[in-house]
């Protein structure tokens, strides 16, 4: 089985695949202080929770932005005798990038582009709501060509709470109205509907630049479901898109030999 790892700045998403089938998925905090021992113990706990065996994992594929944690994950892979690959230069032969600096494109964005083309067709636009809100554009030939990066919803809310003492932290929920009736609802409107409106505006402009109004728009990331409740800009909501892309890249690497 393959364990696909999407290591973001805030959370690490994991997916266990048996072939192309996603057997189970988990999330845990991305803590830069974690050692291989701590990661190993957490993994054993997740697997035990669902009656799975860590011994069944024969490969681990990473898409990550935290180099020191990548080293710890590699140590875990060695312990369980699993092959390990990292999305990036090692996998460039099976991915398609038309970027000014391909080596600088985030591994998660590469995985999103591969998954979008594979499962939903091209052209496509992926809006990934994570620590940052990433928008990835895939042209009609299936190549990642660029996109946009904006502060994520939680970053914006944390900054607001830190700078405005009277505005306490508010739970992230889709508001019922565009006009907030009290302070808490006003913050939800600004955060959630604001993120939805930004996505709508950028997606509209990107479709125009592509010359393809029919480009499939896919929302992913931990907050995609909440934002999707406030907009009809998305054709698909797929919270597992990135780990599915990691799995697809691993499959292509196996075929490449």
Please check whether residue 145 lies inside any domain of the structure.
Answer: yes
Same domain flag for 147 and 232: yes
pLDDT surpassing 70 at residue 207 = yes
128 is in an annotated binding site: yes
* pLDDT tier, 155 (very low <50, low <70, confident <90, very high otherwise): confident
Q: What pLDDT sits at residue 40?
A: 94
Q: What pLDDT sits at residue 10?
A: 86
Does 224 sit behind a cis peptide bond, omega within 30 degrees of 0 on the bond before it?
Answer: no
pLDDT surpassing 90 at residue 158 = no
What CATH number does residue 226 fall under?
Answer: 3.30.420.40
Please check whether residue 14 lies inside any domain of the structure.
Answer: yes
27 is in an annotated binding site: no
User: Average pLDDT in the 109-130 region?
Assistant: 97
Q: What pLDDT sits at residue 167?
A: 62
Same domain flag for 106 and 229: yes
Question: What is the domain extent for residue 204?
Answer: 101-110+121-242
Reference 88, options 105, 72, 71, 75; nearest CA is 105
- Given the residues 18, 55, 83, 108, select the one marked as catalytic: 108
Please check whether residue 116 lies inside any domain of the structure.
Answer: no
Please check whether residue 251 lies inside any domain of the structure.
Answer: no
112 is in an annotated binding site: no
Q: What pLDDT sits at residue 137?
A: 98
Please check whether residue 252 lies inside any domain of the structure.
Answer: no
Please check whether residue 94 lies inside any domain of the structure.
Answer: no
- Provide the number of structural domains found in the chain: 2
Pairing of strands 11-18, 2-7: antiparallel
pLDDT surpassing 80 at residue 168 = no
Segment of 63-77, 82-96, 202-216 carrying the highest mean pLDDT: 202-216
* 123-133 tens-digit pLDDT: 999 999 988 99
Asked whether 128 and 135 are in contact (CB, 8 A), the reply is yes
7 is in an annotated binding site: yes
131 is in an annotated binding site: yes
> Is 108 tagged catalytic?
yes
Same domain flag for 50 and 148: no
**Cβ burial, residue 220 (10 Å; 0-12/13-18/19+):** buried
User: Average pLDDT in the 128-149 region?
Assistant: 96
12 is in an annotated binding site: yes
Please check whether residue 257 lies inside any domain of the structure.
Answer: no
């Amino acid at each position: 089985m393959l364990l696909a790892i999407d290591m973001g700045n805030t959370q690490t998403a994991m997916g266990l695949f048996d072939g192309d089938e996603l057997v189970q998925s988990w999330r845990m905090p991305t803590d830069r202080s974690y050692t291989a021992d701590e990661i190993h113990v957490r993994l054993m706990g997740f697997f035990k929770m669902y009656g799975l065996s860590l011994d069944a994992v024969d490969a681990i594929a990473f898409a990550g932005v935290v180099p020191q944690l990548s080293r710890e994950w590699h140590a875990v892979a060695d312990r369980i005798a699993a092959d390990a690959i990292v999305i990036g230069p090692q996998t460039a032969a099976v991915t398609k990038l038309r970027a000014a600096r391909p080596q600088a494109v985030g591994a998660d964005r590469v995985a999103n582009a591969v998954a979008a083309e594979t499962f939903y067709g091209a052209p496509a636009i992926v809006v990934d709501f994570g620590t940052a809100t990433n928008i990835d554009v895939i042209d009609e030939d299936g190549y990642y060509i660029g996109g946009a990066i904006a502060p994520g919803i939680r970053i914006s809310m944390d900054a607001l709470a830190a700078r405005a003492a009277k505005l306490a932290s508010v739970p992230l929920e889709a508001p019922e109205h565009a006009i907030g009736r009290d302070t808490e609802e006003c913050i939800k409107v600004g955060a959630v509907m604001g993120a939805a409106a930004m996505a709508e505006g950028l997606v509209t402009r990107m479709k125009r630049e592509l010359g393809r109004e029919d480009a499939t728009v896919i929302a992913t990331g931990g907050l995609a479901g909440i934002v999707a409740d406030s907009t009809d800009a998305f054709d698909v909501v797929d919270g597992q898109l990135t780990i599915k892309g990691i799995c697809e890249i691993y499959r292509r690497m196996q075929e490449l030999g």
